[in-house]
Amino acid sequence: MNIFVCIKPVPDTESKINISEDGSSIRDNDIKWIMNPYDELAVEEALQLKTSQGGQVKVLSLGPKKRSTDVLRTALAMGADEGILINAPDNLDAFATAKALSKAIKLEGEYDQIFTGKMAIDNNNSSVTQMLAEFLNIPHAVPISKFQYDNASVTVERETEGGTKEIIQLNGANVIGANKGLNKPRYASLPGIMKAKKKPLKELELEALEHSPEDIKIIFKGLQLPPPKPPIKMIDGDAAEQANKLALLLREEAKVI
Amino acid sequence: MPNVLVFCEFTGDQLKNGSLELLTLAKNSGNPVTALLIGDDCSLAAKKAAHYGAHKVIVSSDDSLKNYNSEVFSDLVSRAIIEASSNIVLASSTTLAKDLFPRVAARLNAGLASDCVSIDLQDEKLTVKKPLYSDKCTAEVTFQNSEQKIVLMRANQLPIGEPDSTASAETSSLAVESTNLSTIIKDIVKGTSETLDLTEANIIVAGGRGLRDKEGYKILEPLAKTLGATLGASRAIVDAEWVPHSYQVGQTGKTVAPSLYIACGISGAIQHLAGMTGSKVIVAINKDPEAPIFKKATYGIVGDVFEVVPKLTEEFKNLL
Does the residue B95 lie in any domain? yes
CATH number of the structural domain spanning residue B221: 3.40.50.1220
Question: In angstroms, rounded to a whole number, what is the distance separating the alpha carbons of residues B27 and B234?
Answer: 39
Nearest to B265 by CA among B219, B197, B230: B219
Both B9 and B105 in one domain: the answer is yes
Both B159 and B69 in one domain: the answer is yes
Bond from prior residue into B258 cis (ω within 30 degrees of 0) = no
* Degrees to nearest 5, angle at CA B153 with A226 and B83: 150
Domain ranges, residue B115 = 4-173
Both B26 and B144 in one domain: the answer is yes
Are B54 and B81 in contact by the 8 Å Cβ rule? The answer is: no
User: CB–CB of A161 and B298 under 8 A?
Assistant: no
Q: What is the count of structural domains for chain B?
A: 2
Does the residue B185 lie in any domain? no
Does the residue B194 lie in any domain? no
Write out residues 134-173 of A within 8 Å (CB-CB) of B.
134-135, 138-142, 145, 155, 159-172
Does the residue B191 lie in any domain? no
User: CB–CB of B70 and A244 under 8 A?
Assistant: no
Both B287 and B165 in one domain: the answer is no
Per residue of chain B (320 residues), what is the pLDDT tens digit? 899 999 999 999 999 999 999 999 999 999 999 999 999 999 999 999 999 999 999 999 999 999 999 999 999 999 999 999 999 999 999 999 999 999 999 999 999 999 999 999 988 889 999 999 988 999 999 999 999 999 999 999 999 999 999 999 999 999 999 999 999 999 999 887 778 999 999 999 999 999 999 999 999 999 999 999 999 999 999 999 999 999 999 988 999 999 999 999 999 999 999 999 999 999 999 999 999 999 999 999 999 999 999 999 999 999 98
Where exactly are the structural domains of chain A?
A: 2-215, 226-257
Are B23 and B52 in contact by the 8 Å Cβ rule? The answer is: yes
Both B33 and B146 in one domain: the answer is yes
ipTM above 0.90, yes or no: yes
- The CATH number assigned to the domain with range A2-215 reads 3.40.50.620
Does the residue B55 lie in any domain? yes
Q: Where are the beta strands (DSSP E) in chain A?
A: 2-7, 9-11, 33-35, 56-63, 82-87, 113-117, 140-150, 153-159, 165-171, 175-178, 201-205, 218-224, 233-234
User: CB–CB of A145 and B136 under 8 A?
Assistant: no
Of B99, B245, B255, the CB nearest to A130: B99
Question: In angstroms, rounded to a whole number, what is the distance separating the alpha carbons of residues B198 and B249?
Answer: 8
Both B220 and B281 in one domain: the answer is yes
Does the residue B179 lie in any domain? no
CATH number of the structural domain spanning residue B14: 3.40.50.620
Of B132, B140, B185, the CB nearest to A166: B185
Does the residue B149 lie in any domain? yes
User: CB–CB of A165 and B131 under 8 A?
Assistant: no
Both B152 and B249 in one domain: the answer is no
Both B128 and B10 in one domain: the answer is yes
Does the residue B188 lie in any domain? no
